[in-house]
Amino acid sequence: MKIVEISAKELAERIKSKEISSEEVIKAYFERIEEAEEKVDAFITLTKEDALKSAKKTDEKISRGEKLGAIEGIPVAIKDNIVTKGIKTTCASKILENFIPPYNATVVDKIKNEGGIIIGKTNMDEFAMGSSTENSRFKNTKNPYDLSRVPGGSSGGSAAAVASLEAPLALGSETGGSVRQPASFCGVVGIKPTYGLVSRYGLIAFASSLDQIGTLGRNVEDCAFMLNVISGYDDKDSTSVNMVKKDYMKYLSEDIKGMKIALPKEYFGEGVDKNISERIRESARAFEKLGATIEEVSLPYTQYALPCYYLIATSEASSNLARFDGIRYGYRAKDYSDINELYINTRSQGFGEEVKRRIMLGTYSLSSGYYDAYYKKAQKVRGLLKKDFDKIFEKYDLILSPTSPTLPFRIGERSDDPVSMYMADVLTVSVNLTGCCAISVPCGYIENLPVGLQLIGNRFNEEKILRAAYAFEKNSGTEKILPDLRGEENEI
């Protein structure tokens, strides 16, 4: 087996036992990046020189017999909206095109403290606004399973990097499903942790009450491995929850006999591909064989989740992105006659079309005369959705559903239809609105394209979604197919 095909957990063990050096691992991954990146376009910035220096330091630590971190010597890719000291953090936007942060996000410090090695910053939709990674200022990332299709978004670069063997682990971020949906499209595992479990300090804000950093890996164990590293209280983040830190790896091997899983009928209705629905129902039967109980339930407010999400997310975005005005950060327009024209020209030239659309929608929702009718009403609906979920979790351990209503769509297919693009998140946004945790796990292939199932858990019940996902992964008989970067046959 090639180095790049070995799981992150196993790689860490082999590095610690001196079976393989960290430098060999980093070199193997950059060789793979040189092979694949031309086709996949997963990265905006690569940090090969720094990564090799870090690998040499790791190998020296090992030779001296020093204490090693949990992910010592393991390459990690970071979504480009998570700040990295001394490394460009662009948010895939012209307005931050040359921004080099003077500090690290807390999650980046945690990765470095545990010996992880940053190999680059991954492509994304501008300011995490999108469901296909087509809204990047710099490039379109392609789906490694079919290069004519999107990898999902907005963490499409991170998911594609993991799927194409360019990174064993990656960080993404979620506002409405941006880790889980690309994980589903790219056939990898993605976790959206409970709001407050992982520090958001250093995550460039899109919608602060919804944003959360998540992990992407090739299997459930690797994602739990990474969640152990990045979770925990941070006094720099006022929304971080101070609680006893859990070791999620300990829960993986527990069986799921007696677990009660809810199957919401609204997640299998109109707009959801029938083949995907059938694949998820087959997966439900696999859970039953493992000893879980499956029952159909109703989440009646589901139909309001998507409009509620887009009102709240865009309102918060319009406020958060006000700071990018040409004065404090990044790009500044060259031609202007007064301060107002500076603001107008900078924001008009610096932001892409989708970001402008969402700022305008959010500003309208917050404006005098419309606040009660839109933003305030959306917050009330959010409360109803939360009650919906709380009621289910009184009786059930988990909720099972598809992650995405469709297979990965073709590049450009939805570019001119924003509403159609927004529908890609219809099955994931409720988790962000309610602050719950969820995971997307591959459950097979349709037309040679990956399908992901979603397991939703109550707040701070990550161990349950990981335990169920791990049991499914090990026992469902779903065969993992590595992408072959099909491009030629698609005439790309």
Q: Any idea which residues carry the catalytic annotation? A: 79, 154, 178
Which two three-digit tokens encode residue 2? 């090639």
Q: How many CA atoms lie within 13 A of 70 on its CB side?
A: 16
* Residue ranges with strand state E in 347-436: 398-402
Q: Which amino acid is at 442?
A: P
Our CA angle for 487, 488, 492, nearest 5°, is 65
Tokens 């070199």 sit on residue: 27
CA distance 289 to 161: 34
- Distance, C-alpha 129 to centroid of its chain: 12
The percent helix, strand, coil of the chain (3-state, each to 5) is: 45, 15, 40
Other residues' Cβ atoms within 10 Å of the Cβ of residue 45 = 18
3-state secondary structure of 276: helix
**Pairing state of beta strands 75-79 and 260-264?**
unpaired
Phi, psi (rounded to 5 degrees) for 302: -55, -40
Do 83 and 204 touch, CB atoms closer than 8 A?
A: yes
Tokens 């099972």 sit on residue: 400
Our CA angle for 421, 168, 446, nearest 5°, is 45
* Residue ranges with strand state E in 107-218: 117-122, 169-174, 189-192, 212-217
Q: Which residues contact 63 (CB under 8 A, 6 or more apart)?
A: none
CA distance 203 to 253: 32
Q: How many CA atoms lie within 13 A of 4 on its CB side?
A: 19
Beta bridge partners of 143: 146
Of the candidates 450, 276, 302, 491, the one whose C-alpha atom is nearest the C-alpha of residue 386 is 302
Q: How far apart are the first and last CA of the chain?
A: 29
Is the preceding omega at residue 154 within 30 degrees of 0, hence cis? Answer: yes
Which two three-digit tokens encode residue 396? 């059930």
Phi, psi (rounded to 5 degrees) for 300: -65, -25
3-state secondary structure of 199: coil
Q: Give the CA distances from residue 431 to residues 9, 137, 358, in Å, rounded to whole numbers and listed in that order.
A: 28, 28, 21
